[in-house]
Structure 1
């Protein structure tokens, strides 16, 4: 971890190096990925020939693989033939969407007897949300996650960086993003699944040409892969570079923030993470 990043994390009271990610052409040398699985196409679903049973039998949440990376290092990745779940592969751009099956699964409309998530009040609501998110096609075959420092020896930069923190530290990231951009709406926190707020929404916002930091971690289905009370924020790589360069100009160097650091210390003590 470089000294600028270390100083920035120290002032925020964050002890964990953030995770960065990018779409890459080459498969990483890592076994931290979802199992292989052939996912149905929209055309197959429209013709009544889509079988989603293998996808659920080989289900493996992308956020779980990020969690393993956070604990063990290395790389985590997913691809079209290692999709993890039928929703996730569409959110990160490896399949067109939305599946009607997923629209019913996320809301309350599966007649097959499978328990549904009831996160929205019907399939049409999900389809509207999905179109608003508008996941972009994957530009390369592999979506790869690493600790941000592990990108330094590579020939390319990451596209985005994701910080994990509890609210006491996250408040600093939230307010600091506004300091850097002079944009009152720079932090967005839209509805979405775990991978949607980590990957889909950041890419969609970038495509509009406006800088956005996306606050996520709200999806109850994936919170088992976060610490208690933990959230995450994903920022464009360019904003991340500004963050580690300019924090001493901001409120993070004031007595106000020093007071907040005392509460961060109490939080760390409460969770046995001093």
Structure 2
């Protein structure tokens, strides 16, 4: 198998998914990349900043690190391994407590005990490096970087086709999951493997966290792809249905079964 560069893998993934947003990659670094900007300058929410980087061409490479955490969501800091989870988080995720933020609650989990168990089940979270860097693949020329995951965003059809491409050589037919957690975990923490009990070598579809629905497009999904799987997908693209049967992957004519729509578009 001929080695592909990070840029080439990203280009292949974008081509396969016909993605309108940029494919990103996540890696650890002991230094801040030239011209990179702290995530907090884009948005307090790490996931929001990551999606903005993908969607807007004028945003530079972004990073978060152990000495540049102030201004970022505390939950995101924990999910990237730079801090522990707040002891009262279990109440915020579930039914609330008057002792934390005036009883504010997200009602994502049935009760505090279940929330605490969920957080413990993740295991130790180890950061990718002193800094976690998110960058567009198309802007990356340094092949010495240890890229852990690729991140893409697209419509449901685009993401379905990328999932099917991942199964072109099905060593594991259940290597695609939608786990619990915040959007930043779906984008980076799980596919990059920073959480001890992350699904191993597994594509992550998301986000499964509804708290980002106000900024994440309602017809979009995210796909986080570990490096080795992404490399295989890029190599398989030309032999796969996406290239060999492109009108099946992306039909020109479509049948509609939903009431009120034309039967053929």
TM-score category by the smaller chain?
A: 0.7 to 0.9
Q: Normalized against structure 2, the TM-score is what?
A: 0.79
The DSSP-based 3-state class of the residue aligned with 1:125 is helix
Q: Normalized against structure 1, the TM-score is what?
A: 0.77
Distance across 2 between alignment mates of 1:220 and 1:131 = 21
Aligned residues: 241
Higher helix share: 1
Q: Which residue of 2 aligns with 1:92?
A: 80
Q: Which residue of 1 aligns with 2:212?
A: 222
* Structure 1 unaligned blocks of 5 or more: 36-58, 267-274
Distance across 1 between alignment mates of 2:137 and 2:18 = 18
1:108 paired with 2:113, answer no
Q: 1:124 aligns with which of 113, 118, 126?
A: 113
1:61 paired with 2:50, answer no
Distance change >3 Å, CA 80–CA 263, structure 1 → 2: farther
Give CA-to-partner distance per residue, 1:94-139, whole Å, 9 cap, x none: 112x322111111112214242111001121112112222252214
State the superposition RMSD in angstroms.
2.8
Distance across 1 between alignment mates of 2:186 and 2:215 = 14
Distance across 2 between alignment mates of 1:153 and 1:23 = 13
Is the contact between residue 33 and residue 76 of structure 1 (CA under 8 Å) also seen in structure 2? yes
The 5 Å alignment of 1:1-274 reads 5-6=10-11, 8-28=13-33, 29-34=35-40, 60-70=44-54, 71=56, 72-83=58-69, 84-96=72-84, 98-112=85-99, 113-153=102-142, 155-202=144-191, 203=193, 210-255=200-245, 257-262=246-251
